[in-house]
């Protein structure tokens, strides 16, 4: 039903689709809670400033429900109040998952059949970012949210470089490992460090590789929007709450299923010549997947 309000009567502008409004004490009351810090000492004037700010943000009435000094010159606030804004669900834009979720056995089978070798993933936190919780949750065998990490997958070779990795070092290791995919985790967001670090990584890989041979570039972090891939120059962005299974399923989709559908022969990974083509690489060059001990059924 057009204009249907989920959670209360509509007092705002007319909309074309179902709309929602915040829920606090009663259905459709529009109550929200907001926290912020002001660079002023904690006193009555500070609380008045917090209420004025809340009012200018559209909260009416608003009340300060928590205030605490953060040192001598800052105050942290939690304010609670009503807003009149509605959200038209038909106008919400999100990045829908365009690939099926696969279990570990399905991922292993798809890689084994499609690539006929192990899929190589190199992961790191680049720049000065020292937060490895995110990259470890995806790569380490212990995983996240009850799911095993990519190290658990028999047909995926994981190279986890850890934290504070310089972008040139990441590119060099990717070339040495003949990586199929690069996973970069960025948590630090001060002064848009996560954006600058990702764009630097993208530029470095595009300079080091011809575009058809470039590894898949995947970035993740709690402050990324999944719609930012084009802006960042990467192939995929994963936000907060992403599980290892989602990443593994995407890698299969992008590196196996999608390329097979586009007519690329199985086993032609980024940076690799077809297996039947003559090799001009030096004899000491790594031959991925040649060691039978590296692949298990």
Q: How far is CA 125 from the centre of its chain?
A: 13
| 142 part of the active site | yes
Q: Give the DSSP H or E segment for 108.
A: helix 104-114
195: Cβ contacts below 8 Å, ≥ 6 apart = 231, 232
Residue 257's H or E segment, with its range, is none
Which of the following is catalytic: 105, 142, 148, 157? 142
CA separation for the pair 8, 83 (Å, rounded): 13
Percent helix, strand and coil across the chain, each rounded to 5? Answer: 35, 20, 45
CB atoms within 10 A of CB 17: 13
Q: Which residues, at least 6 apart from 294, have a Cβ–Cβ distance to it below 8 Å?
A: 118, 157
CB 29, CB 82: distance < 8 Å? yes
Q: Using CA atoms, how far apart are residues 55 and 33, in angstroms rounded to an integer?
A: 13
- For residue 61, say if its preceding peptide bond is cis, omega within 30 degrees of 0: yes
Instruction: Give one word for 164, left, alpha or beta, with left for phi > 0 and alpha for psi -120 to 50.
Output: left
Q: Known catalytic residues?
A: 142
């Amino acid at each position: 039903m057009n204009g249907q309000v989920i959670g209360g009567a509509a007092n705002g502008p007319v909309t074309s689709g179902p709309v929602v409004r915040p829920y606090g004490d009663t259905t459709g009351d529009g109550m929200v809670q907001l926290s912020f810090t002001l660079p002023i000492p904690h006193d009555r004037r500070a609380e008045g400033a917090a209420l004025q700010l809340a009012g200018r943000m559209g909260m009416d009435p608003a009340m300060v429900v928590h205030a605490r000094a953060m040192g001598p010159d800052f105050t942290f606030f939690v304010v609670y109040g009503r807003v009149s804004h509605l959200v038209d669900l038909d106008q919400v834009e999100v990045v829908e998952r365009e690939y099926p979720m696969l279990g570990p056995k399905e991922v292993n089978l798809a890689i084994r059949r499609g690539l006929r070798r192990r899929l190589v993933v190199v992961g790191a936190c680049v720049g000065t970012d020292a937060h490895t919780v995110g990259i470890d949750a995806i790569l380490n065998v212990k995983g996240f949210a009850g799911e095993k990490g990519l190290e658990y997958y028999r047909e995926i070779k994981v190279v986890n470089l850890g934290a504070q990795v310089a972008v040139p070092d990441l590119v060099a290791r990717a070339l040495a490992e003949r990586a199929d995919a690069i996973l970069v985790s960025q948590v630090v967001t001060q002064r848009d460090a996560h954006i600058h670090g990702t764009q630097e990584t993208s530029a470095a890989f595009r300079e080091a590789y011809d575009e058809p041979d470039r590894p898949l570039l995947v970035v993740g972090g709690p402050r990324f929007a999944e719609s930012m891939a084009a802006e960042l120059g990467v192939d995929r962005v994963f936000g907060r709450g992403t599980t290892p299974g989602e990443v593994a399923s995407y890698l299969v989709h992008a590196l196996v299923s999608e390329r097979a559908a586009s007519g690329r022969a199985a086993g032609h990974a980024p940076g690799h010549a077809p297996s039947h083509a003559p090799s001009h690489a030096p004899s000491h060059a790594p031959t991925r997947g040649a060691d039978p001990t590296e692949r298990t059924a």
